[in-house]
Amino acid sequence: MEEISKNHEVIMIGAGPTALTAAIYTTREDIETLLFERGAIGGLAAVTDHIDNYPGFPDGVDGLVLADSMRKQAERFGAKIELGEVTGIAKDKAGIKLTTTSGDMFCKALLIATGSDYKKIGVPGEQEYYARGVHYCATCDGAFYRDKKIVVVGGGNSAAQEAVFLTRFASHIDMLVRADHFRASDVLQEEVAKHKDKITVHFNTTTDEIVGVDGKVVKVVGTDKVSGEKKDFETDGVFIFAGLNPNTQFLNGTGIDLDAIGLIKTNDDLMTNIKGVFAAGDVRHGATMQIASATGEGATVALRIREYLEGHKVINE
């Protein structure tokens, strides 16, 4: 097995669509690039059953196929992918020092593209039917449920907004809210009310189990918290909007600025408050959480990294 070098021009943490796209751009310009990935190459895209809204695929594309194509393209231009984990980042006199499971690494520019994971509610059937009836993105998967029944779980802004979006496709939506009121803004509550012909809101209702038959979701079992009565909600699919967990826990103590929920703050050049450290994709504050925009940010940040390295070279000379 080839021993990994300790010194690199660019290191990218993550190997999802953002980092793979960025690596295609940097390596095509002969900027030596190493990607660190602790999970699946391709990120959330790789574990998405079918992607229907990525440009260039009129019939859609399997997430794993798209992710593997991006990987092969990046590697064709010379990108190296290391399976491992980054546990610390520090500014070093010579550049940026990373503490990793493969030992200490050093780079001139760093891209953090670790993405976000959808918060899970942890009920039976949620993991089993992920991407096969259980979804976390209405924009990504709503069109699969044209003229079908849907259950939406959540009562915050994203749940209200996405439930309204799903009325474009669904014949009916049962919205399960644990609390006795919405946490969504008044404006979004008014939007939900405008669609009462399609959306039925069930307050004080828990989501206890997602049930399937022959590999397909058929119902959600909940509990009325007031009466204690169990309720069945027949459905073709479940959309869960409990929020996102940015993959930024490893940045604690690094000095990199995060927002209230842990997303990375950047300037217009996608650089963090630490010079030479960039962030892009779903881990960045202001990201739109779409694969197409993630690849777009990957291209943009690669160009910004190139500009930074060129400027850094001039200063050193």
What is the value of pTM for the model shown? 0.75
pLDDT digits (tens, 9 = 90+) for 80-133: 999 999 999 998 777 899 999 999 999 999 999 999 888 899 999 999 999 899
pLDDT at 294: 95
pLDDT at 315: 45
Domain residue ranges of the chain, discontinuous segments joined by +: 7-117+244-316, 120-240
Cα(162)–Cα(168) distance, integer angstroms: 10
pLDDT at 146: 97
Cα(152)–Cα(138) distance, integer angstroms: 10
Cα(218)–Cα(241) distance, integer angstroms: 19
Backbone angles phi, psi at 271, to 5 degrees: -95, 140
> Rg (Cα) of the chain, in Å, rounded?
22
Q: pLDDT category, 3, cuts 50, 70, 90?
A: low
> Contact at 8 Å (CB) between 72 and 26?
no
pLDDT at 62: 87
Please say if the pLDDT value at position 317 is more than 50.
no
CATH architecture for the domain at 120-240: 3-Layer(bba) Sandwich (3.50)
Q: Which CATH class is domain 7-117+244-316?
A: alpha beta
Please say if the pLDDT value at position 60 is more than 80.
yes
- What is the DSSP code (8-state) at residue 284? B
Residue closest to 169 by CA, chosen among 58, 286, 59, 53? 53
